[in-house]
Amino acid sequence: MTRKLNLVPFVSVEHMMKLVLAIGVERVLTDLAARIEEDFRGWSRFDKTPRLASHSVDGVIELMPTSDGRLYGFKYVNGHPKNRRDGRQTVAAFGVLADVGNGYPLLLSEMTLLTALRTAATSALAARYLARPGSRCMALVGNGAQSEFQALAFKALLGVTKLRLYDIDAAATRKCAGNLAGLGFDVACCASTGEAVDGADIVTTITADKHCATILTDAMIGPGVHLNAVGGDCPGKTELQRDILLRADIFVEFAPQTRVEGEIQQLDAAHPVVELWQVMTQQAPGRREARQITLFDSVGFAIEDFSALRYVREKLADNGLYHEIDLLADPDDPRDLLGMLRRAGTPPAAFHPLAPRFPQPSP
Amino acid sequence: MTRKLNLVPFVSVEHMMKLVLAIGVERVLTDLAARIEEDFRGWSRFDKTPRLASHSVDGVIELMPTSDGRLYGFKYVNGHPKNRRDGRQTVAAFGVLADVGNGYPLLLSEMTLLTALRTAATSALAARYLARPGSRCMALVGNGAQSEFQALAFKALLGVTKLRLYDIDAAATRKCAGNLAGLGFDVACCASTGEAVDGADIVTTITADKHCATILTDAMIGPGVHLNAVGGDCPGKTELQRDILLRADIFVEFAPQTRVEGEIQQLDAAHPVVELWQVMTQQAPGRREARQITLFDSVGFAIEDFSALRYVREKLADNGLYHEIDLLADPDDPRDLLGMLRRAGTPPAAFHPLAPRFPQPSP
């Protein structure tokens, strides 16, 4: 490959949309779930660390790195519930995949859309191990940007076709129902969380407020339900009443991170939880019986982003949906960074206003 | 401002070179030192954390975040000593500055060049507090990519004009001397470290090997010298004989990080060190007397990158030396991410190959 060392492929939002549309959303969700499952099964290969979060009054900015020893990936992601007021995304993200052998970035990509896709793919992947076989009906509580992706992932991976929507803002529910119309769902718009949850095999909560809310109360959850709790993902931000947690078998991505950020921040630090990779590698059971309540306490983990970036990079070769950006200095001699700078100056006098001349290096 | 929310200013390597050439290298170094000093003086405002390092056989990839509560910055940087063999930089970097209030990136910038500049600016800034007044002669041991920037920073900030160069590779020394010719230095190319150090007021070590080396031995360092140790910046990577450390007063950027990465990894964890900000705010003395040996055990800290990104952002407004890249999804309604994706598809059928039609949302 004669690629210039200074250039790094960049996948813009526009290119990501084109990529997803070209492949098909449900196919992308299925592919992402397969990559995530592959990486979760290889759990021991990965450097794992809770994400590095910088909290402020209005939100959080996080860096989520991981590596399998061959590739290194990280995501930058924010979470600012107030953002919608001025037209911004609550969650925006971008990320980088790099070569561990030389530390050079291989890919810079938008990840706002990709995060929505990988979050939904992870939820549906977990549900394949945890929901009752034959689950077809899902309640979606919280109908924001993530909701339709959840619906599409559960359709693609589990065959969920009945949706029961609820949001405290009816406009969000209308938006969600509108976006899902014609895609093969039977959609019911509900007037309350209780109505949405009634009769659902799977209950997905994806609300955005940054505080401990009680979106689901204990009485709402009957036996056999799988809970996919996505919106409680920050210290001080939960969605489920604590009593539900005590009745459920709890599954998480990476316990040291979920203990701080997930629903289980409401529980004792010793409360038993199972990491998903343990289920995937048959080191722990998933769902054992029909009446069991299972909970996927999803907060989002770096390996999911790694898998998603890896997938996007695989697809780049086929489709050309990227720009190359001049991100890395590449002097002719790696040790001659100043020489590169100097040679970029025309006329040379511009290099330094005080230098009367700027001669070539002596031989 | 009517800036589109999806666009983020991107400063490429080419634009960074143009910016630095337009302002002048020594002026940039002086400006950067001023910004770094300003931020170090405001130390308590900052979120401080040791950088997050991912080590591998051949090198390290690090994320270096910090925030002053208003702006958030992070740098991605690698360190791979072997990279030069295939024409790559030992150290390559890029970084992002973001708005803490909404989490949106304000700037994406190359930082390979910027890191070279900020590292040199930090060294010279420290030396203003730690070197003997009137220091004019500096030994530069290690003549790689960082060496000329160190020379220029010490000239700009301290008036150092006599340089004594040494590198185990004589070609590196020739390159360094060549690049510095005509810039107002009196340069001596030396045959050994001992020769280079002889008579120097300041000794700067900037070698790249990733192991514990002994670049300087105790006998080489006479009274009154200021040591600027830049190359020992990784666990297991040091440059100074331990005995030197025991004779010197040691100054660091952020002790919790330097204890792990710097020369002082050779010392007891309780060995006294002073953080530079304490000197700058007169909470601790810098150099007290002429015969004292001072050591700046420099490993590079996130606030320096923050200051540098802040400086670049200030300059953007004046000069237009940036591109705008489509990094962030910006749907008309922030909650309508899927709608944005859907509307990007022409013809709509491309959205999902299995969907026979893709109607507009119902009203």
pLDDT tens figures, B49-61: 888 999 999 999 9
What pLDDT, on a 0 to 100 scale, did the predictor assign at position B346? Answer: 57
* Cβ distance of B78 and A61 shorter than 8 Å: no
* Cβ distance of A54 and B65 shorter than 8 Å: yes
What pLDDT, on a 0 to 100 scale, did the predictor assign at position B231? Answer: 82
* Domain C-terminal end among B264, B299, B334: B299
* Cβ distance of A326 and B352 shorter than 8 Å: no
- One DSSP character per residue, B98-130 reads EETTT--EEEEEE-HHHHHHHHHHHHHHHHHHH
Domain with A197 in it = 122-300
- Cα B126 from Cα B252, distance rounded (Å): 9
Does residue B128 share a domain with residue B234? yes
Whether residue B358 is predicted with pLDDT greater than 80 in this model: the reply is no
Beta carbons of B141 and B227 less than 8 angstroms apart: no
Does residue A138 share a domain with residue A35? no
Q: Is residue B267 part of a domain?
A: yes
Q: Is residue B360 part of a domain?
A: no
Show the low-confidence residues of chain A (pLDDT under 70): 1-3, 209-210, 346-363
What pLDDT, on a 0 to 100 scale, did the predictor assign at position A346? Answer: 57
Does residue B138 share a domain with residue B228? yes
Q: Which of B56, B116, B183 sits opposite A100 (nearest CB)?
A: B56
Is this complex's ipTM strictly greater than 0.95? no
What pLDDT, on a 0 to 100 scale, did the predictor assign at position B353? Answer: 35
Q: Is residue B104 part of a domain?
A: yes
Does residue B88 share a domain with residue B151? no
- Cα A230 from Cα B287, distance rounded (Å): 55
What is the value of pTM for the model shown?
0.90
Q: Is residue A332 part of a domain?
A: no
- Which residues in B lie closer than 8 A to residue A59 (C-beta atoms)? 102-103
What pLDDT, on a 0 to 100 scale, did the predictor assign at position B212? Answer: 74
Does residue A270 share a domain with residue A136? yes
φ, ψ for residue B296 (rounded to 5)? -95, 105
Smallest CA–CA separation between A10 and chain B, in Å?
A: 9
Whether residue B37 is predicted with pLDDT greater than 70 in this model: the reply is yes
% of chain B residues with pLDDT over 90: 80
Q: Is residue A1 part of a domain?
A: no
- Which residues in B lie closer than 8 A to residue A309 (C-beta atoms)? none
Whichever domain contains A193, its CATH number is 3.40.50.720
- Which residues in B lie closer than 8 A to residue A329 (C-beta atoms)? 13, 89, 92, 110, 112-113
Does residue A127 share a domain with residue A45? no
Quick one: DSSP state of residue A280? H
Q: Is residue A334 part of a domain?
A: no
Q: For residue A319, give the 3-state DSSP assignment.
A: helix
Does residue A96 share a domain with residue A220? no
Beta carbons of B26 and B148 less than 8 angstroms apart: no
* Cβ distance of A337 and B116 shorter than 8 Å: yes
Does residue B132 share a domain with residue B223? yes
Q: Is residue B344 part of a domain?
A: no
Does residue B315 share a domain with residue B273? no
* Domain C-terminal end among A259, A282, A300: A300
Number of domains in chain A: 2
pLDDT (tens digit per residue) in B152-204: 999 999 999 999 999 999 999 999 999 999 999 999 999 999 999 999 999 99
Whether residue B236 is predicted with pLDDT greater than 50 in this model: the reply is yes
Each as own residue / partner, the long-range contacts of residues B41-49 (CB below 8 Å, 24 or more positions apart, any chain) are B41/B277, B41/B280, B41/B281, B42/B68, B43/B275, B43/B277, B43/B281, B43/B303, B45/B69, B46/B303, B46/B306, B47/A54, B48/B254, B48/B302, B48/B303, B49/A52, B49/B302
Q: Could you give the residue ranges of the DSSP H alpha helices within A144-262?
A: 147-158, 170-180, 193-197, 242-247, 255-261
Taking one residue from A and the other from B, the number of pairs with CB-CB distance under 8 angstroms is 322
Q: Is residue B107 part of a domain?
A: yes
* Cβ distance of B353 and A24 shorter than 8 Å: yes
Whichever domain contains B52, its CATH number is 3.30.1780.10
| Side chain identity, residue B243 | D
Mean pLDDT estimate for chain B: 91
- The catalytic residues of B are 233
Q: Look at residues A114, A128, A103 and name the one whose alpha carbon lies nearest to residue A328.
A: A103
> Best interface-test mutation with A: which of B179, B305, B323, B354 has the largest number of A CBs within 10 A?
B179
Does residue A268 share a domain with residue A133? yes
Q: Look at residues A287, A299, A273 and name the one whose alpha carbon lies nearest to residue A128.
A: A287
Q: What average pLDDT does the segment B218-229 reach?
A: 96
Q: Could you confirm whether A233 is annotated as catalytic?
A: yes
Smallest CA–CA separation between B337 and chain A, in Å?
A: 5
Does residue B151 share a domain with residue B71? no
Lowest mean pLDDT among A175-184, B38-47, B224-233, B299-308: B224-233
Does residue B211 share a domain with residue B311? no
Q: What average pLDDT does the segment B72-93 reach?
A: 92
Whether residue B347 is predicted with pLDDT greater than 60 in this model: the reply is no
- Cα B280 from Cα A269, distance rounded (Å): 43
